[in-house]
Every structure is written in structure tokens, then in C-alpha cells.
Structure 1
Amino acid sequence: MSVQERKQRERAERERLIVATARELAERQGWEAVTTRRLAERIEYSQPVLYSHFRGKREIIGAVALEGAAEMAAAVRAATAAADGPRARVAALAHAYLDFAARNPAVYDALFQLDGGLAYAREDTPEPLKDAFAALLESLGEVAGDDVHPALFTEVFWASLHGLATLTRAGRLLPADAARRVKLLVDRFVVA
């Protein structure tokens, strides 16, 4: 291995460490606890080293969001692959999405609430974000019907899931009715 390859590998490892540490800290104490000073102390590198990877907290949030998007896409695909039939796939998708949001609140915030400097719904949207949407579209597109564009149908269903995730987390919805909400959502959207 050349010196250049070793340096690239070490740089990638440091970057993964920064992102993992930021994510862990955010999940335990919230994003307000994530500062470059605190991250530098936790990873045992200087702040200039941290800044050589990320220009600041905003880019770190973006990196956590991209990692989270890939994980969410994988969770949705795994859940829908195990389901039998369109209705079951949509229900599995909804449960997987809401479970991901509940288990990873800081990542979910990085994806949808905080400014990570990422472009959404544009040509320059990063691939992990496009792939997360594609994971939803794969199951929802098959139940969209002939009268609506599958991507538009997916956006509306996704917005409904996001509302459920956000309102549940804020304590605005009773947790005991979570399964009934998902069933109602699926029943209303999957009419075929």
C-alpha cells in the first residue's frame, strides 16, 4: 500500500469517526450538544483536523443525514421484501419508516428538520436521498393507480408518514393508536 493510499484510508476512517461520534452525541443529548469543540475532544483530534473534514456543524449534520437516508432505504426495502402483496408491502413500508424515525430521532431530524446543506427534490440531490425516496416509490408506485403520477402519490404518502412520525414524537398523538393510524393510512391509500 502506498503512502497516499494509507493517508486516504486514514482520512476516511477519521471522517467516519466524526460522523459516528456526532450521531451518537446527538442521539443521546440532542443536536444542540454537538459542537466542533466537543467532537474534537471526543475523537481526540484537534478542531483544525475536524475542520479539514467538515466546514462546520452544518456539513456534519448533512453527513449524518446521508448515512441515515441509506439506512432508512435499507430498512424499508428489507421490510417490504418480506411482505406478500401490495397492501402488505405498503403497510410494511409505513411501519419500517415510522420505526426508523422513532429509533433514530437525531438522524431523522438531520434528514428532515435541520439544515445539513443538502438539496432535496432537485437534480443535484445526493444519491442517498434519491435512493431513500426510490425505496418508498418502489412499493407505493405499484398502488398509485392510473390517475396519479407514482412520484406524486409517493410524496403525499411520505408527507403523511412524516406527519405521523413528527406528531407522535412531539407527544401530540396517543402512542396506543399508532397501529390503527397506520392501518387507516394504508386502507385509504391502497384502494386496489
Structure 2
Amino acid sequence: MSTTERKERERARRHELIIATARELAEEQGWEAVTTRRLSERIEYSQPVLYSHFSGKDAIVTAVALQGFGELAEALEAATAPAADPRSALEAAVRAYTAFAEEHPALYEAMFSRSVDLPFGQPDTPAPLRAGFEAILRVLTPFAGGRDPALLAEVGWSSIHGLVTLARDGRLPPAAREQRLALLADQLAAAPADRARGRGREHRQGEDPADTPLG
């Protein structure tokens, strides 16, 4: 191995060590505890060395978030691959997504709540972000009907994220967690025609007989 190759390998190892240490510290004490000084102390490298890899804390959070999206995509793929049918895959994805957010709260915060320099939904969106979205797109496409699958995936992702965020912040009672996830999967799987029929039944049930035309 040449000197250049050895230096590049060492630099890559330091880069990953900084990311891993930031994640570890954030999961232990929250992102407010993650500072360049504390990271330098933990990894036993000087702050100038750390700054040679990242411009500051926001850049580190961005790297953590990027890593998180890749791991989320892998978790969704692992959960949905054994599914026997699209409906089972959808429910598995909803549950896997929720479990991922619950098991990695600081990582999930980096992905969705912290300041990151990542282009979402753009031509230059990084591959891990695309992989996360495409994993959700795959399980929802069979239920799109005449709708845009990408828009359905966006709304589905937003719905799952909303439940995760409200539950994490204590805005939803934990006892109904499983019922909420099942209801969300049912709503996402409902075909447009099924929804229209449901609205029609609700309308007819709410009609005042005096307003019903005769003949």
C-alpha cells in the first residue's frame, strides 16, 4: 500500500469515526450536547483535524442525516421483502418506519428536524435520500389507481412522519399506537373508487329525508 493510499484510508476512517461519535453522543444526551470540542475529546483528535473533515456542527448533522436515510431505506427493504402481497408490504413498511424512528430518535431528528444542507426532491438529491423515498414509493404504487404514485408516496410519507412526530412529542396516547398504524395502512391502501363509495354512503346516511327529491 502506498503512502497516499494509507493516508486516504486513515482519513476515511477518521471521517466515519466523527459521524459515529456524533450519533452516539446525540443518542445519549441530545444534539445540544454535540459540539466540536466534545467530539474532539471523545475521538482524541484536535479540533483543527475535525474541521479538516467538516466545516462545523451543521455539516456533521448533515452527514449523520444522509447516513440515516440510507439506513431507513435498508430497514424498509428488509421489512417489505418477505411480504406475500402489496397490502402486507404496506403494513410492514408503516411498522418498520415507525420502529426505526422510535429506536433512533436522535438520528431521526437529524434527518427531519435539524438544520441540514440536503436538497430534497431535486435533481441533485443524494442517493440515500432517493432510496428512502423510493422504498415508500414502491409499497404505495400498487394502491395509486389513477393517482400520481409519487404524490401518493409524498402524502403517505407525510402521514407516517406526522404520527411519529406527534407520538414522540407526547401528543398521542401510546395505548392506541397499533390501532393508529393499522388505520393509516387501511387509509393508504384504499383505492380511489373505495373512497368515493365511502363518501357516497356517508352523504346518503346524512341526508335529510325532506331534502330527498321525489320521483
Tell me the TM-score normalised to structure 2 length: 0.87
Partner in structure 1 of residue 162 of structure 2: 163
Distance 1:125 1:38 in 2: 31
Whether 2:188 is the aligned partner of 1:180: answer no
| Alignment correspondent of 2:14 | 14
In structure 1, C-alpha distance between the alignment counterparts of 2:188 and 2:98, rounded to whole Å: 17
Alignment of 1:75-114 (within 5 A): 75-114=75-114
- Structure 1 residue 43: Cα displacement: 0.3
After the TM superposition, list the runs of 4 or more consecutive aligned residues in structure 1 that deviate by more than 4 angstroms: none
Kindly provide the CA deviation profile for residues 78-116 of structure 1, in whole angstroms up to 9, marking residues without a partner as x. Answer: 101121111111100000000000000111111111112
Amino acid at match of 1:88: S
RMSD: 0.8
Q: Contact 2:35–2:57 at 8 Å: present in 1 too? A: yes
Matched, 1:32 2:62: no
Q: CA deviation at 1:117?
A: 1.0
- Aligned residue identity for 1:153: L
The aligned residue for residue 54 of structure 2 is 54
Between the two structures, name the one with larger relative contact order (CA 8 Å, sep ≥ 6): 1
The aligned amino acid for 1:59 is A
Alignment match, 1:139: 139
Q: Which has the larger radius of gyration?
A: 2
| Aligned partners of 2:31 and 2:106 also within 8 Å | yes
Contact 2:27 / 2:106 at 8 angstroms: preserved in 1?
yes
* TM-score, L = length of structure 1: 0.97
Shift of 1:20: 0.2
Q: Which runs of 5+ in 2 are unaligned?
A: 192-215
Alpha-carbon distance between aligned partners in 2 of 1:70 and 1:43, rounded to the nearest angstrom: 24
Q: Which residue number in structure 1 is paired with residue 207 of structure 2?
A: none
Deviations 1:124-163 (A, max 9, x none): 21111111101111111121112x1101000001000000
Structure 1: which amino acid aligns with 2:185?
A: V
Question: 2-side partners of 1:189 and 1:15: how far apart?
Answer: 40
Query: How far off is 1:72 after superposition?
Result: 0.5
Q: Name the SS for the 2:52 alignment partner.
A: helix
Structure-2 residue corresponding to 1:189 = 188
Deviations 1:30-50 (CA, angstroms, capped at 9, x unpaired): 000000000000000000000
Q: Where do 5+ consecutive residues of structure 1 fail to align?
A: none
Partner SS, residue 168 of structure 1: helix
Equivalence for 1:67:
67
- 1:189: Cα distance to partner? 1.5
Number of equivalenced pairs? 191
d(CA) in 2 for partners of 1:144, 1:9: 46
User: How far apart are residue 191 of structure 1 and its match?
Assistant: 2.0
Q: 2 CA distance for matches of 1:58 and 1:110?
A: 10
Identity over aligned pairs, percent:
57
